[in-house]
Structure 1
C-alpha cells in the first residue's frame, strides 16, 4: 500500500495528546503506548537488529522507536523484555499469546497490544491529516465511499480519502495476520458513521476473492492535533 508524503515535525505535546486519544478509542483490555521518535537512539535487541537488516537511517529510527514503545506496552501484559523482530511478511512477530500493531508517521509512533485470550487480532494506523492527491484518492477509495464527501468533510474537518486510507490500513493490519491474505484498497469497502466516529469494513466480492470472509468488521477512528488514527480489533469471545 502506498503511503503519502507527510508534513514536518510538530511539538512534543502532539504525541501526548495522540496517545491519550487512542487509549480512549481502543477496546478495553488493549494496552497503548507511544510518543515521538526520541527513543530512536536506543539500541535494539540483537534478534530485532538482525531482522531489520540494512535499511536507511529514517527507517531504522522509526523501527527503534516502535520497538521501544512496543516493550513499554508489553510491560503492561507482563512481557516487557520480549523480542519483537520482523517476520517474513515484514510485520512484527509478537510474543506467544500476544497480538499487536505498530504505526508511525515521520515523527510519532503508537503501539497497541493485547492478550490473544481477549483478542484474535488488532490493527492500528496513524497518519498526518494532509489531503491525498487526486491520483492517490482514486487508488484508495471508490465512488460509493465518497458519496456525501463535502458534508462528511465539513463535519469531520479532514480529507475523506485520507481518512479512508487510515481506516483501511488499520483494518488490513488486523486482517492480514489472521488470514495471510493480501488486500488492495478496493478489496475493502468502508461505511462510516460520522456521529459515532465508527467504521464498518467489508471485503468486496470478486473473482479473486470469491470465497473470502463475508463478515462485517467494526472499527473506530478519530483525530488529534493534526493526526488521523483508526483502530480495529477482533474479540476472541
Structure 2
C-alpha cells in the first residue's frame, strides 16, 4: 500500500465547512468558520445537537413546532423569489415547464390538506427507514408509539402539521393588495414552489423522487421549514455515512428523554 499520500497523524488540517474530507487515525481536524478555526469534533457535536433538537420538536410536539414556520406565510419571501426568477434568465424554459406542471397539478386538486399530509408522510417514512430498529424502538416508545405502529405515528404527526399549514395557507387569500398584488403574490408563490422543488432535488434526490410522481415536490415549500432537519439528517447519512447518521439518532433519543 502506498502511504505517500497519507497525512502524518500529528498534522493539523484546516478545512472550510464546504470541503469534503477523510480523516486519518489520530489526525487533528479543524474547520474554518468565518475566519476562526474550530475543532471538527466540537463543530460536529454542535451541528448534531441542533439538528436533534429540531427533530425532537417536530416529532414530539408537532403543534408547537409550527413556530419553525415563520417563513412559510411571508409576502416578502414570495416577492423575493419572484425577483430572483426575473434575473434567472438561464432557466426560463425550464421554469416555464415547471409552471405548467404546477398549474395542471393545482387544477387536479394538488393544493389541499390531504396532499400536504401525504408529502410529510413520505418524507418521515423514508427518514425512519434508515434508523436502526433498536434506536427506532426507543424513539417510538418515547412518543407513545411502537416500531410496529410507525405508519400510525407518522400519520398523526403529519396530520397535525398538515392541518396547521393548510389553515395558515389560507392567509394568502387574504392578501390585501388588489388584483395586481394578488397576481404578483401568486407569481412569487409559483417561483417559490419551483425553486424549493429544485433545491430539494439537489439536497436529497431520494425524497424528491418519492414526491415527484404525484407532484408533491411542488408543495415542499410549504413544509420545508419543518422537514428541513430530516432532510439535513439524510444528507449527513449520504455524505458522512450510516455511522454518523446513527450517532445523530442516538442524540435524538437522548433529547427525547429530556422532554
Normalised TM-score (structure 2): 0.24
Q: Greater Rg, structure 1 or structure 2? A: 2
- Indicate the structure with greater helix content: 2
Normalised TM-score (structure 1): 0.26
Indicate the structure whose relative CO is greater, using CA pairs within 8 Å and at least 6 residues apart.
2
